[in-house]
Amino acid sequence: MSGRDRADPAHWPTLVESLRLYGISKKGQNAMEMRDSKGVFQQNTMASSLKPTTPRLLLPHNFPPSRLAPCRTASINRRQLIADTAAAIALPPLLGVTTTTLSPLPAKADEVSLSEWERVFLPIDPGVVLLDIAFVPDDPSHGFLLGTRQTILETKDGGSTWAPRSIASAEEEDFNYRFNSIGFKGKEGWIIGKPKQSCCILPIFGENAARIPLSSQLPGDMVYIKATGENSAEMVTDEGAIYVTSNKGYNWKAAIQETVSATLNRTVSSGISGASYYTGTFSTVNRSPDGRYVAVSSRGNFYLTWEPGQAYWQPHNRAVARRIQSMGWRSDGGLWLLVRGGGLYLSKGTGLTEDFEEVSVQSRGFGILDVGYRSQDEAWAAGGSGILLKTTNGGKTWIRDKAADNIAANLYSVKFINDNQGFVLGNDGVLLKYLG
């Protein structure tokens, strides 16, 4: 039993339970003689005899001896035991013991409540990894949740409860889909996934979903989709290809002239450290509200940026010694950067820069995997082994939500839909909802 459990009255035994622990029956039979010559309690001995005038609180048998005052050697006969027990039962209600019943305090829930988050249990297999979440802008109570194993869940109460959703056109295929990203604009939504040759872009118009075919020659796997307007969307692959459509996905136009591999082949002599080891894919990619992208190479040894109108991705040397885990955008337009092993860095100023400074965080050595901003000042970071960190000053200082340490899962993504609606996505079907 931990120190915290010992201090919690919910873990203390009732009077009858204590008597049973020390070999004394409720009827007072088989009374034991208990001796403590050194003033230190031995295992299976009571704290002291109960007295009608000054009753003593019964403590668990493994309560630390150092916290109890020594008592004299005592012996209990049958008459004394019956009298003392009757006196204790007649006490006013104390710690869950009443005059009519001897019942323990209500047991603590299995799931420890978080200070500003609650766990939402989902009707899915435990091994499902949650990947993305989005809500209809015109109806914040209506949203969709994506995960591995072809998981699609739908909510119509703001995320408190979820129900499985199936897409008939996808189920007709023989492929094992993995839906990666979802985005909404108005009531029009888009879902992408892989394998790419299965053509799994699924615009959602109201309650209907239609599969739109894509070429199997598309460079890379689709990893991100952004609904940009009516019948319009922007899509990114893990090889750096960016495509846009304005006619419900029937035609796609490249927004960039070449993939990242082609760019690095041209600029390998430009001094980008690690470019020659590039494997050709992104590990993460994030889009700012104004359409700028930042992506991390799969090995984490450099990162790339792109702004609307540019013909190529712009590679950048990492400003830190450790490899990059992920990068994204702050609410003020600056960048945050996570390194492997739990480090957090913030760019100086706003906009694109290679100048970063480290921020002290209590990650306990576990990796931080994502950061989500609720407002310009408040943000949350999530990571391995249930790590949750909060800042209220734009990221200058962070505190750990220790209650989240009891979550046996890795937390991969932090998503704030608006100031009052946020979610944290993890593995093993773990979904946390922001309470505020």
Task: Tell whether the model's pLDDT for residue 164 goes beyond 60.
Answer: yes
DSSP 79-92: HHHHHHHHHHHTSP
Instruction: Tell whether omega for the bond before 195 is within 30 degrees of 0, i.e. cis.
Output: yes
Q: Which of 21-35, 155-169, 230-244, 385-399 has the lowest mean pLDDT?
A: 21-35
Distances (CA, A) of 206 to 209, 233, 239, 266, 285: 8, 17, 32, 45, 28
Torsional sign, CA 127, 329, 289, 280: negative
What pLDDT is recorded for position 273? 58
Of 373 and 112, the one with more pLDDT: 373
What pLDDT is recorded for position 295? 96
Distances (CA, A) of 158 to 199, 212, 432: 30, 29, 13
The C-alpha atoms of residue 16 and residue 185 are separated, in whole angstroms, by: 63
In tens, the pLDDT along 86-143 reads 554 444 443 343 433 333 333 333 444 457 999 999 999 989 999 999 999 989 999 9
φ, ψ of residue 434 in degrees (nearest 5): -75, 135
Percent pLDDT > 90 in the chain is 42
Q: Which of 32-41, 203-212, 239-248 has the lowest mean pLDDT?
A: 32-41
Q: Which helix or strand (DSSP H or E) is residue 261 part of? A: helix 260-267
The C-alpha atoms of residue 273 and residue 135 are separated, in whole angstroms, by: 40
Structure tokens that stand for 237 in this block: 């692959």
Task: Tell whether the model's pLDDT for residue 47 goes beyond 70.
Answer: no
Q: What share of the chain is helix, strand, coil (3-state, %, to 5)?
A: 15, 35, 50
Task: Tell whether the model's pLDDT for residue 281 goes beyond 80.
Answer: yes
Structure tokens that stand for 192 in this block: 């992408």
One-letter identity of residue 27: K
Q: How many CB atoms lie within 10 A of CB 354?
A: 13
Q: Which of 258-267, 274-283, 324-333 has the lowest mean pLDDT?
A: 274-283
What pLDDT is recorded for position 114? 56
Structure tokens that stand for 428 in this block: 């093993």
Torsion of CA 14, 17, 21, 26, to 10 degrees: 120
Q: Which of 356, 357, 324, 352 is nearest to 338 (CA)?
A: 324
Structure tokens that stand for 224 in this block: 């991100």
What pLDDT is recorded for position 144? 94
- 271 contacts 291 by C-beta, under 8 angstroms: no
Confidence of residue 393 (pLDDT cuts 50, 70, 90): very high
The C-alpha atoms of residue 350 and residue 357 are separated, in whole angstroms, by: 13
- 282 contacts 296 by C-beta, under 8 angstroms: yes
What pLDDT is recorded for position 205? 53
What pLDDT is recorded for position 29? 43
- The stretch 191-213 carries a mean pLDDT of 65
- 132 contacts 146 by C-beta, under 8 angstroms: yes
Q: How many CB atoms lie within 10 A of CB 161?
A: 14
The C-alpha atoms of residue 176 and residue 171 are separated, in whole angstroms, by: 9
DSSP 176-233: --EEEEEEEETTEEEEEEE-GGG--B--EETTEE--B---TT-SS-EEEEEEEETTEE
DSSP 18-34: HHHHTT--TT--S--EE
What pLDDT is recorded for position 199? 47
CA neighbours closer than 13 Å in the CB half-sphere of residue 237: 25
What pLDDT is recorded for position 264? 80
Q: Which of 12-26, 108-122, 203-217, 283-297 has the lowest mean pLDDT?
A: 12-26
Task: Tell whether the model's pLDDT for residue 392 goes beyond 70.
Answer: yes
Distances (CA, A) of 247 to 193, 253, 399: 20, 11, 46
The C-alpha atoms of residue 79 and residue 282 are separated, in whole angstroms, by: 80
The C-alpha atoms of residue 428 and residue 115 are separated, in whole angstroms, by: 22
Confidence of residue 403 (pLDDT cuts 50, 70, 90): confident
What pLDDT is recorded for position 204? 61
Task: Provide the mean pLDDT of the chain.
Answer: 76
Torsional sign, CA 360, 364, 366, 371: negative
Q: Find the angle CA(50)-CA(55)-CA(58) to the nearest 5 degrees.
A: 70
What pLDDT is recorded for position 244? 95
